[in-house]
Structure 1
Amino acid sequence: MIFIIIAIFLIISCIENKLIYLICKEMKPSLSNSIIVYLTSIITSLLIYNKYEITLDSISYFLLIPFIVVISIIDFRTSFVYDITVVSGIIVQSVVFILSKIPLEELVDHCEGLIIGLLLSFFMCKLTKAIGEGDIGFYGLCCFVLGAKHSLNVFALSFLLTSIFGILIILKQNRINLKVRVPFTPFISMATILIMLTQYDIIKIYFKMINNNL
């Protein structure tokens, strides 16, 4: 089964690699992009299979991988998120949930996740300017897949990862440059993948650590 998954995601990765340049025509094909696409897609899919085997969750996660890889690479290279990629991802996940006939409470949980992801990121974008408008839909997509129970964890972990990256930049440059824009979708993707693979409640762990230190 593992070899089948590798073969499938080799094909999917090839398609992803071509879609990146079809969607964003200003980008030029590069070896580094191809390496990221193939390694991220194949390794993540194998880790997901190792944890869940073939279940509804793993199928949903498998189908999310191509979208987060394509969206993250385009945003990292161009600082732009195309609506078509986000909307397509939400449509694909909706079809999976409908066809699988999941229990109503689970479907509601995913829909609540979508709403939380969209609304919270919208207010953060408009009130704090901490994220870009393209990140709104991407948060919605990732929270839709993970459900309401992990929606806040996606936000918390993505900001934590971004902060760590920002500290590394400051240490490397030996100065603080507020004009530097950090593409956010790669960190949302990493947060989503980590939560998919661990199912950890990051916020619960954080408050538990605080209480233990008090």
Structure 2
Amino acid sequence: MYKIFPFVNDNNNKNTKKCGDLYMYIYYGIIIFIFGTIIGSFLNVCIYRIPLQESVVYTPSHCTSCGRKIKWYDLIPVASYIVLKGKCRYCGEKISKKYPIVEFVTGILYLMLYVKFGISISIVKYITFISILIVVGIIDFNTTNVYFETTIVGLISSIIFLASYYYIGFPVKTYVYGGILGGGLLSLIIVITKGGMGWGDMEICFVCGMFLGLELTFVMLFLSFVIGAIAAVILILSGKKSRKDYIPFGPFIAAASVITVLLGQNILNWYL
């Protein structure tokens, strides 16, 4: 084949292409991380406002102490917290560290999804899924309540992705079975223990099953109970909880689901 630059050999062309691909891979990774921190900022709004039954869209962001509207340059994820030294620009009230932590962790999780799935429909699905898990898990941890507004968003999202899978000819039965397994098992436990768990936990497991599919739902459920048991023992032994205290199960389901998305198939392969 005729070469425009005959003095450049094929090996150099291949190396140049590899370097270019690596740079683009890193570039997209940075973009995904920044996008994740921005979404994390919105998730903070959801985590704060949903339990208060406030709109997550219409009311501008404001200081919870002085009520002043927060300027756009004070809403830059993570960076604004550092610049402001963790305090409100107007009243000097301390800003909770949980806000930059959620933003940063969301960015890291998005980046991990990008590394695992690349740019594909899977990353879109699991970005949506993990974002919902963050909101549900943290709200349940803070309030011991699972709000229907969050689980219905998860259910609708899962149905949309299943419809897109069905449209392109991808099997969807495993996801339906996953939802039945997750919701059914938790429903059985709730009935047998007469309220040992809440119906909100059942809703979360049903949604998780719809996103994960049958096999990964087994992994998620197993990890949920293992993580929950370990956390309960630590809390009881440390004196922070007694055996009679209610410990929210939603955060453990969320944590187990994130692990399952990232490592679930590896865990299955190792086990099998």
Q: Same fold (TM over 0.5)?
A: yes
CA distance in 2, matches of 1:165, 1:26: 30
Q: Aligned pair 1:23/2:50, yes or no?
A: yes
* SS, match of residue 163 in structure 2: helix
- CA 1:111–1:26 in structure 2 vs 1: closer, same or farther (change >3 Å)? closer
Question: Offset at 1:111?
Answer: 1.2
Equivalent residue number for residue 252 of structure 2: 187
1:77-130 residue CA offsets vs partner (Å, 9 max, x unmatched): 10000011101111112212323534352x111111111111111111121244
Q: Aligned pair 1:137/2:203, yes or no?
A: yes
Q: Aligned pair 1:78/2:143, yes or no?
A: yes
Structure 1 vs Structure 2: percent identity of aligned residues?
Answer: 27
* SS, match of residue 81 in structure 1: coil
Pick the structure with greater CA Rg.
2
CA distance in 2, matches of 1:20, 1:191: 20
- Conserved 8 A contact 1:74-1:81: yes
Q: Aligned pair 1:46/2:111, yes or no?
A: yes
Letter in 2 for 1:78: T
* SS, match of residue 238 in structure 2: helix
CA distance in 2, matches of 1:148, 1:190: 18
1:28-85 residue CA offsets vs partner (Å, 9 max, x unmatched): 9662431342133111111111111122222211111211111111110100000111
- Quick check: which one's helix share is greater? 1
- CA 1:26–1:108 in structure 2 vs 1: closer, same or farther (change >3 Å)? closer
CA distance in 2, matches of 1:191, 1:162: 9
Aligned ranges for residues 158-169 of structure 1 at < 5 Å?
Answer: 158-169=224-235
Which is bigger in relative contact order (C-alpha 8 A, separation at least 6)?
1
Match of 1:63 among 128, 133, 137: 128
* SS, match of residue 102 in structure 2: helix
Equivalent residue number for residue 36 of structure 2: 9
Structure 1's unaligned 5+ residue stretches are: 209-214
Equivalent residue number for residue 170 of structure 1: 236
- Conserved 8 A contact 2:179-2:209: yes
Question: Offset at 1:203?
Answer: 7.5
- CA 1:33–1:102 in structure 2 vs 1: closer, same or farther (change >3 Å)? farther
Equivalent residue number for residue 153 of structure 1: 219
* SS, match of residue 31 in structure 1: coil
- CA 1:75–1:43 in structure 2 vs 1: closer, same or farther (change >3 Å)? same
Question: Offset at 1:144?
Answer: 0.9
Match of 2:152 among 70, 87, 98: 87
CA distance in 2, matches of 1:162, 1:205: 22
- Give me the CA root mean square deviation: 2.5
- Conserved 8 A contact 2:36-2:108: no
- Conserved 8 A contact 1:115-1:140: yes
- Conserved 8 A contact 2:35-2:107: no
Letter in 2 for 1:93: S
Question: Offset at 1:170?
Answer: 2.9
1:166-192 residue CA offsets vs partner (Å, 9 max, x unmatched): 121233229x82112211111111111
- CA 1:205–1:160 in structure 2 vs 1: closer, same or farther (change >3 Å)? farther
Letter in 2 for 1:156: F
* SS, match of residue 186 in structure 2: helix
- CA 1:121–1:10 in structure 2 vs 1: closer, same or farther (change >3 Å)? same
Letter in 2 for 1:37: V
Letter in 2 for 1:193: V
